[in-house]
Structure 1
Amino acid sequence: MKNILIASLLLITVSSFAQTKKAVFIIIDGIPADLIERLNAPTIKEISKGGGFVHAYCGGEKGTYDETPTISAVGYTTILTGTWVNKHNVWDNDGIKENYNYKTIFRYLKDIDPSKKIAIFSTWLDNRTILCGDGLPETNNLRFDYAFDGLELDTVHYPHDKNADYIKYIDDTVSTVAGEYIKANGPDLSWVYLEHTDDMGHRYGDSKQYYDAIEAADTRIKKVWDAIQYRKKQFGEDWLIIITTDHGRDSSGHNHGGQSDREKNGWIATNAKNLNAEFKTDPASQADIMPAIANFMNISIPKENAMEIDGTSFIGTISANKPTTKLENGKITINWNAVTKEGNAKLWLATTNNFKTGGKDEYKMVAEIPLSKQQAIIDVSKMPSAFYKIVIETPTNILNRWIAVK
């Protein structure tokens, strides 16, 4: 009897360490952080209590090389790839010519394990067919195992009306199917996209109609959250959920696309437990979501790809974050925030951008110094160039910055 008890305890212990990790991220369109904080959003707030809530800027850094339009498809692609528009090349909702050399989180997962199941539940068909590149040779023929999208094209069941109520009904269906499918099948990585909030913002600005749409979105999220709770209880799976937005809005609530504070004021809510300094030092950024999912799911990103990712994982251990660079009088000053004082920072420099076209960049290690110094000065007077890529390689994560000489 004693041996049976010991064996049972060992089985429980092994199972706890071998929990299957699964993730879902939900994008609700066009909601600045001030409204999530002010309005009735009990599901988002419940999720946040188990993990955290943080402001997360959209649109890159204003006035720099990575300044990015605060537009829907642009924001989705930043979330998917962990890069800003200067890399992924999605500048608008139309006429998209994406650079698929910057992979989405779905491609990274399928690259390491093609047996993993991916799913998308979306009001907008282009999220799958264009932004994720479903079935395209440029994405190595990535295929979603399950897709529920394109209902905006179904004018029989969802006749278009001037008040965009049809989008509300589509969001209802998308969230219902997402909850049901995740509960029954538990795909490894899913994206749920809800649109109606953005339509109400465009039509009515800051208004009861817009606020009601935000609160309705929260009830739709509950369908997915309830499914996750079921999966955790019934199957012992370890689930990550991330809720976010693609952009904020201007001061009236009607528009977006620019670089005003409110247009850039996005946010992240998550149930993640192991949140680090990137999350706790407000603000994070929407580019942090992709590497955070990768960290949680133990997705190994090749070094040459990691050197291009602009976001920093807000889950798990990091050694440094918040890099900055400045070129002056032939010298580049590099700064970072040392999260830990242990270990060294290896500094790499390249004057090429071959990665953009599928090639390899010619990096040279120019220094290796203690992380705790939080600064390095690199003399590039003998390497004159109009362009520099700087990479800070730390023991647990990689940071990058560009310098484009005007």
Structure 2
Amino acid sequence: GTLISAYQGGERGGYNQTPTISAPGYNNVLTGVWFNKHNVPDNSIKAPNYYYPTIFRFFKTQYPDKTVGIFSSWEDNRTKLVGDGLAQTGNIKIDYKFDGLELDTIKYPHDKARQFMAKIDQAVTDEAARCILEQAPDLSWVYLEFTDDMGHAFGDSQQYNDAVIAADKRIGQIWAAVKQREKQFNEDWIIVVTTDHGRDPKTGRGHGGQSDRERSSWIATDANPLNVYAQKGKASVVDILPTLATHLGISLSDDQKRELDGVSLLGKVSLYNVEAKRTDDKVNLRWLSGEDSGKVKISLAHTNNYKQTGKADVYTLLAEVPVNKGSFDIDLSQYPKSDIYKIVIEGTHNTVNRWIVNKK
């Protein structure tokens, strides 16, 4: 396996800066986009923008007969973030679900030390491992909470370290079920482990801000071979959705590719780590090339239909340039005035996007 350093929180001070809080952090992972698109800024999850589908919806839309599972110590992950059974999510059906234990205060009485969450995490792990071994959902998500509880309660401490070790053992239990499936049925699985946020730099108790430590995340995976971006680029948690899409054979439409903020860690990659710097009406685009030859198409839209209605934006092709050029300049004065400009760079193997948002 490989441990990849990755970031949460979008870009510090940028149009897609995202609070380093649980629900936004996991929705970044699930949708492959940041808060400016998915619209989940906190744990109340009041109005998610379901025009940005989760990996579960992408998968079930293409493979309706295949199965998915969610095993979680927090019910909102399934009911609100993924939107199980909601009209707005196309009535997506989660085939195997095991959650809501935190609402059962009879079986899991809530003690102040929150040891009940350790018991719930273990129950969730047991069921996930059993279901993977016996039913083998094609795509599963397991969420464990106890480490975060211990961080809030004790900060940087032995209690927190012990909780991390316990989580590691639980993940090992799930991984053992995966390995057993591979051995017994010759199936091709990958496991991807990540986290929703870091912790505050002073005590390790809180989170939500944009310090390096709060933005700090990671991706642990046995997927291989990892590509040049995974090895040399600056990865983030929004890369998980396109990585899973590559492994699972999910085809995305051009409109969907133009909105995704992540880049797959598997397979060929044309370009990555794009920056757009604006000075007055001039925009300088820079990127790193993942291949020696080939071209990229650079296009511009001055609407935001996809976010507002789920319908496609109309893009104007500006130029086609060699991918290894690594930069391009745009003069916005040549185009209609707008509060937003959406720039996409489409390579042979992947598409990346940047927004230029006028600050009101």
Fold agreement, TM-score > 0.5: yes
- Which structure 1 residue ranges, 5 or more long, are not aligned? 1-47
Give RMSD over aligned pairs. 0.9
For residues 72-221 of structure 1, the aligned pairs below 5 Å read 72-221=22-171
How much does 1:281 deviate?
Answer: 2.2
Q: How many pairs are equivalent?
A: 356
Amino acid at match of 1:393: E
- C-alpha contact (below 8 Å) 1:347/1:392 kept by paired residues: yes
Quote the residue 1:363 is aligned against.
315
8 A contact 2:154–2:205 mirrored in 1: yes
Q: Among 340, 354, 358, which residue is 1:401 paired with? A: 354
Instruction: Please name the residue that 1:36 is paired with.
Output: none
CA distance in 2, matches of 1:258, 1:225: 32
Deviation sequence 1:349-373 (CA, Å, 0-9, x none): 0010000122221211111111111
- What's 2:4 paired with? 54
Residue 380 (1) aligns with residue 332 (2): yes
Match of 2:277 in 1: 326
Q: Which has the larger radius of gyration?
A: 1
Matches within 5 A, 1:147-296: 147-251=97-201, 252-281=203-232, 283-296=234-247
Secondary structure of the residue that 1:192 maps to in structure 2? strand
Task: Report the alpha carbon displacement of residue 325 of structure 1 after superposing the two structures with TM.
Answer: 0.8
Aligned-residue offset at 1:174: 0.3
* Separation of aligned partners in 2, 1:88 and 1:176: 31
Q: Distance in 1 between matches of 2:193 and 2:233?
A: 17
SS of 1:238's partner is: coil
**In 1, Cα distance between equivalents of 2:266 and 2:134:** 27
Secondary structure at 2:131 match in 1: helix
Once residues 56 and 339 of structure 1 are traced to their aligned partners in structure 2, the CA distance between those partners, rounded to angstroms, is: 18
The percentage of aligned residue pairs carrying the same residue is 51
Q: Which amino acid aligns with 1:347?
A: I
* Contact 1:54–1:282 (Cα < 8 Å) also in 2: no
Provide runs of 4+ in structure 1 moved above 4 Å. Answer: none
Relative to the length of structure 1, the TM-score reads: 0.86
Which of 293, 301, 305 aligns to 1:354? It is 305
How many angstroms does 1:298 deviate by?
1.0
**1:385 & 1:233 partners in 2: Cα distance?**
56
Given that 1:285 and 1:311 are in contact with CA atoms closer than 8 Å, whether structure 2 keeps it comes out as: yes
When structure 1 is superposed on structure 2, of 328-337 and 106-115 the one drifting more is 328-337
Q: Is the 8 A contact 1:341 1:372 kept in 2?
A: yes
Is there any run of 5+ residues in structure 2 with no aligned partner, and where? none
Q: Give the aligned residue type for 1:370.
A: P
AA at the equivalent of 2:267: G
| Contact 2:35–2:41 (8 Å) recurs in 1 | yes
Per the TM alignment, residue 333 of structure 1 is displaced from its structure 2 partner at its CA by 1.4
Secondary structure at the counterpart of residue 326 of structure 1? strand
Q: How far apart, CA to CA, are the structure 2 residues paired with 1:303 and 1:110? A: 18
- Give the distance between the partners of 2:38 and 2:103, measured in 1 at CA: 27
Instruction: Please say if residues 229 and 290 of structure 2, whose CA atoms lie closer than 8 Å, have aligned partners that are also in contact.
Output: no
- State the SS of the aligned residue for 1:53: strand
Asked if the contact 1:55–1:282 (Cα under 8 Å) also holds between the matched residues in 2, the reply is no
* Cα distance in structure 1, aligned partners of 2:280 and 2:105: 61
Q: Quick check: 1:310 aligned with 2:266?
A: no
Query: Contact 1:121 / 1:191 at 8 angstroms: preserved in 2?
Result: yes
Pairing 1:337–2:288 present? yes
Q: Distance in 2 between matches of 1:351 and 1:124?
A: 39
TM-score by length of structure 2 reads: 0.97
Cα distance, 1:282 vs structure 2: 5.3
Deviation string for 1:137-157 (max 9, x for gaps)?
000000101100000011111
SS in 1 for 2:127: helix
Deviation at 1:379, TM superposition (A): 2.2
1:246-285: per-residue Cα shift (whole Å, max 9, x none)?
Answer: 0000121100000000001100000011211221125310
List per-residue Cα deviations over 1:208-242 (Å, max 9, x = no partner). Answer: 11110000001111111000110000000000100
Q: Distance in 2 between matches of 1:184 and 1:259?
A: 42
Deviation at 1:54, TM superposition (A): 1.0
